[in-house]
Amino acid sequence: MKAPITRRRFVKRAATATALAAAFGAPAILRSQSPSERIVIGVMGLGRGLDHVRSSLTLKNLEVGYVCDVDDSRLARGVKTTSEKQEKTPKAVKDVRQVLEDKDIDALFIAAPNHWHAPATILACSAGKHVYVEKPASHNPWEAEMMVQAARKNNRKVQMGNQRRSWPAIIEAMEKLRSGAIGRVTSARGWYNNQRGSIGRGKPAPIPEGLDYSAWQGPAPERPYVDNLVHYNWHWRWHWGGGELANNGPHALDLIRWGLGVEYPQKVTCNGGRYHFDDDQQTPDTILATYDFGTSVGIWDSSSCHPRSNEKLPFVAFYGEGGSLVNFGTDYVIYDIKGKEVARQNGPGGEAIHIQNFLDAIRNGTKLNAEIEDGQKSVMLCHLGNIAYRTGRTIHFNPKDRRIKEDAEAELLWKRDYRPGWEPKV
The amino acid present at 114, given as its one-letter code, is N
Q: How many domains does the chain have?
A: 2
The verdict on 337 and 304 lying in the same domain is: yes
Q: Are residues 182 and 313 in the same domain?
A: yes
- With 0-12 / 13-18 / 19 or more C-beta atoms within 10 angstroms meaning exposed / middle / buried, residue 383 is buried
**How far is residue 382's CA from residue 317's CA, in Å, rounded to a whole number?**
18
Would residue 418 count as lying in a domain? no
Specify the DSSP element, H or E, that contains 358.
helix 352-364
Angle between helices 7-23 and 114-126 (to 10 degrees): 40
Q: Strand 107-110 relative to strand 39-44: parallel, antiparallel, unpaired?
A: parallel
Q: Are 263 and 257 in contact (CB under 8 A)?
A: yes
- Cβ-contact 397, 403 below 8 angstroms: yes
93 and 220 in a single domain? The answer is no
Is 66 a domain residue?
yes
Cis, peptide link before residue 231, omega less than 30° from 0: yes
Say if residue 171 is exposed, middle or buried (CB neighbours under 10 Å; 0-12, 13-18, 19+): middle
> Looking at the DSSP assignment, which residues form a beta bridge with residue 267?
292, 396
Question: Is residue 345 included in any domain, yes or no?
Answer: yes
Q: In angstroms, rounded to a whole number, what is the distance separating the alpha carbons of residues 119 and 3?
A: 22
396 and 273 co-located in one domain = yes
In a domain, 93, yes or no: yes
Please check whether residue 195 lies inside any domain of the structure. yes
Q: Are 18 and 134 within one domain?
A: yes
Q: How is residue 283 annotated by DSSP?
A: S
As a residue count, the chain comes to: 426
At residue 283, the pLDDT reads 98
pTM of the model: 0.91
State which residues form the domain around 38: 7-163+354-370
Q: Which amino acid is at 206?
A: P
Within a domain: residue 1?
Answer: no
Does residue 146 sit within a domain? yes
Whichever domain contains 80, its CATH number is 3.40.50.720
- What distance, in Å, lies between the first and last C-alpha atoms of the chain? 30
- Name 87's Cβ contacts closer than 8 Å, sequence gap at least 6: none
Q: What is the pLDDT of residue 32?
A: 41
Whole-number pLDDT of residue 37 = 84
- Within 13 Å, how many C-alpha atoms sit on residue 179's CB side? 9
Q: Which residues contact 287 (CB under 8 A, 6 or more apart)?
A: 244, 245, 270, 271, 272, 273, 300, 301, 302, 385, 389
Confidence at residue 21, expressed as pLDDT on a 0 to 100 scale? 36
Q: Please say whether the beta carbons of 259 and 188 come within 8 A.
A: yes
Tell whether 159 and 170 lie within a shared domain: no
> How does DSSP assign 324-345, residue by residue?
EEEESSS-EEEEETTS-EEEEE
Residues 343 and 224 in one domain: yes
Q: What is the pLDDT of residue 9?
A: 45
Residue 199 CA to residue 13 CA, distance in Å, equals 42
Instruction: Answer yes or no: do 229 and 300 share one domain.
Output: yes
Which pLDDT score, from 0 to 100, does residue 28 have?
A: 39
3-state secondary structure 189-228: EEEEECCCCCCCCCCECCCCCCECHHHHHCCCCCCCCECC
In a domain, 416, yes or no: no
pLDDT at 16: 39
Say how far apart CA 270 and CA 242 lie, in whole Å. 13
- Give yes or no: residues 141 and 190 share one domain: no
Same domain, 137 and 188: no
Residue ranges in the chain whose pLDDT is less than 50: 1-35
Q: Are residues 140 and 251 in the same domain?
A: no
**Any bridge partners for residue 371, and if so which?**
159
363 and 383, same domain (yes or no) = no
- Indicate which CATH number applies to the domain containing 299: 3.30.360.10
